[in-house]
């Protein structure tokens, strides 16, 4: 498990520590945040690392964790963290049939411009479709909406 030392500091009313890039670069961040578990001064925690623009990921350390770790603002604490892979949501992949339809109708670029969450919602829904006829029906509806410039596409 990756280990590091960090100084606890305040940002607003919250106590936090910066996690070195050498550690977070090796972790997956599906939506920017990284779910982790570990210890601070031997006290166990489960937290979420938060991205900060042009800075390292930030680990917020709440009062119960500070107390359990016998740590306070301004002190350097010993951290051990690992990514909590159970918290990562399943990623759905695009079926070749759906991809060909998007390409054929020249809307693959539009689909890729949707938010990752919207893409995953659509791919998740389509992953449960078993008949190609039904997939083509839903693909047609999605393609119509993409051609119309819709960004908040919902399917049945």
47 plus 101 within the same structural domain: no
- The structure's pTM equals 0.57
Tell me which residue range forms the domain holding 72. Answer: 3-87
The pLDDT tens digits for 49-96 are 999 988 889 999 999 999 999 999 999 999 999 998 776 567 788 999
User: What CATH number should be reported for the domain holding residue 18?
Assistant: 2.40.30.100
Phi first, then psi, for residue 27 (nearest 5°) are -105, 155
Structural domain count, the chain: 2
73 plus 7 within the same structural domain: yes
Confidence at 156, pLDDT banded by 50, 70, 90: low
Q: Is 4 exposed, middle or buried (0-12, 13-18, 19+ CB in 10 A)?
A: middle
The pLDDT tens digits for 97-132 are 999 999 999 999 999 998 888 898 899 899 888 888
Is 139 a domain residue?
yes
Is 16 a domain residue?
yes
CA distance 45 to 144: 47
17 plus 68 within the same structural domain: yes
52 plus 114 within the same structural domain: no
CA distance 28 to 33: 9
* Average pLDDT over every residue of 141-153: 90
């Amino acid at each position: 498990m990756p280990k590091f030392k960090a100084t606890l500091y305040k940002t607003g009313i919250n106590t936090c520590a910066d996690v070195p890039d050498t550690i977070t670069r090796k972790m997956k961040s599906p939506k920017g945040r990284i779910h982790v578990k570990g210890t601070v001064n031997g006290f166990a925690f489960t937290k979420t690392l938060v991205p900060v623009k042009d800075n390292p990921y930030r680990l917020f350390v709440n009062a119960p964790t500070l107390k359990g770790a016998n740590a306070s603002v301004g002190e350097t604490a010993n951290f051990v963290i690992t990514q909590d892979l159970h918290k990562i949501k399943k990623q759905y992949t695009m079926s070749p049939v759906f991809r060909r339809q998007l390409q054929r109708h020249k809307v693959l670029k539009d689909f890729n411009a949707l938010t990752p969450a919207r893409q995953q919602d659509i791919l998740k829904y389509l992953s449960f479709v078993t008949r190609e006829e039904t997939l083509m029906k839903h693909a047609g509806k999605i393609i119509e909406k993409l051609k119309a410039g819709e960004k908040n596409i919902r399917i049945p």
